[in-house]
Amino acid sequence: MKPFLKWAGGKYKIIDRIIRVLPQGTRLIEPFAGSSAVFLNTKYEKYLIADSNIDLINVYKQLKKDGTDFIAYCNELFIKANNKEKVFYRLREEFNTISDSTRKAALFIYLNRHCFNGLCRYNSRGLFNVPFGSYKNPPFPEKEMLDFVKKSKKAQFMAADFVETMGKAVVGDVIYCDPPYVPLTETSNFTNYTGSGFGQQEQDKLVALAKKLANKGIPVIISNHDTDFTRNSYSSAQIDFFDVRRFISSKVTQRNKVSELLAVFA
C-alpha cells in the first residue's frame, strides 16, 4: 500500500528490502513513523506507531477515529482556488496558530501535498516553514487514506520520542527505526523535522538502546546512511548495504544514488 503522505526519505520504494530483514513477531513498533510505509506494508498482528512529530501523529489519530468523514473533510481543501501561493501561505499561517485538532490535521495533509517537495520542516519556534510548491494540480490521496483507515484498526498511535517508545517493547515485539539520517556531509545535515534536532548524541543513544533490547531478545532494525560513523556504531549488528536514488531535489539531474544500510540488532 502506498502512503498518503509525501515524505523525504520515505521507505515505500525499498519496502521489499526492509521486509526481507524484519524478523517475525507479534507486534511491530516504529518509533519514527514518518509516512508509515513499513506499517502499511507488513503483516504483524498489532502495531505501535509513534513519532516525536505531534502534528503527524494527530493526523493518524484523526484518520483512525473519524475515517471517511475526516477524509471527506480534508478533500474540501483540495480545490483549484486553494492551489495559489497567497492562499497557501494564509493556510500555513492558520496551521501554525490554531489548536483545533481536526482542522490542524486536515491542513497538515493540504500542506504536505502543496508545499515544496512534500517536506516536513519546522523552524526554531516550532512553526511549519516549508514554502509553496507551485504544483499544477496536487492530487488528493483518497484511496491511500482509505487504505490507511483499514490498517489503522490494528495500530496504536502515540506522540513520543524514541526512548519512551522503545521503552514499551516486550519480548515478542520487533522494532523498526527510521531516524533522521546521519549527514553525508556537513552541509547536508537536516535535523529540523520537529524543530528540536537529532544529532550525534541521539544517534548514539539509539544504538545503545538497540543493543540493550537485542540482548533481551527484542530485535531492532535501523535504517541510515552508509557512513564511517554508522559502520562503526553498528559494528555489532548484521548489516545490509545498498544504494537508493534520492528524490528530494527538485532537479532531476541532482537526484543521485546514495549508499544506505539496514542494521539488524538481534
Q: Which residues of the chain have pLDDT under 70?
A: 186-196, 246-255
On whether the CB atoms of residues 125 and 258 are closer than 8 A, the answer is no
Angle at 78 between CA 255 and CA 108, to 5 degrees: 65
pLDDT in tens, 238-254: 999 999 876 544 454 45
The pLDDT value recorded for residue 256 is 74
Burial 92-126 (b: 16+ CB within 10 A, else e): beebbeeeeeeebbbbbbbbbbbbeebbbbbeeee
The pLDDT value recorded for residue 257 is 85
User: Of 147, 149, 153, 171, whose CA–CA distance to 220 is shortest?
Assistant: 171
Q: What does the CA dihedral 184, 187, 190, 191 come to, rounded to 10 degrees?
A: 100
What proportion of the chain, given as a percentage, has pLDDT over 90? 86
Task: Give residues with Cβ within 8 angstroms of 118, minimum separation 6.
Answer: 5, 6, 7, 8, 112, 133
On whether the CB atoms of residues 256 and 246 are closer than 8 A, the answer is yes
DSSP conformational letter for 118? G
- CA-CA distance, 100 to 97, in Å (whole number)? 10
The pLDDT value recorded for residue 196 is 55
- CA-CA distance, 151 to 108, in Å (whole number)? 20
- CA-CA distance, 73 to 140, in Å (whole number)? 12
The pLDDT value recorded for residue 193 is 44
Grid cell locating 33: 513513523
The pLDDT value recorded for residue 250 is 46
- CA-CA distance, 59 to 54, in Å (whole number)? 9
The CA radius of gyration of the chain, in Å to the nearest whole number, is 18
The pLDDT value recorded for residue 188 is 53
CATH class of 12-54+152-265: alpha beta
The pLDDT value recorded for residue 185 is 72
User: Of 177, 189, 190, 147, whose CA–CA distance to 51 is shortest?
Assistant: 177
- CA-CA distance, 152 to 180, in Å (whole number)? 24
Q: Which amino acid is at 256?
A: N
Q: For domain 67-143, give the CATH superfamily.
A: Adenine-specific Methyltransferase, Domain 2 (1.10.1020.10)
The pLDDT value recorded for residue 262 is 98
The domains of the chain are located at: 12-54+152-265, 67-143
Grid cell locating 132: 509553496
- Residue with grid cell 553525508, as numbered in its chain: 184
- CA-CA distance, 7 to 217, in Å (whole number)? 32
On whether the CB atoms of residues 109 and 59 are closer than 8 A, the answer is yes
pLDDT in tens, 13-56: 999 999 999 999 999 999 999 999 999 999 999 999 999 999 99
The pLDDT value recorded for residue 249 is 47
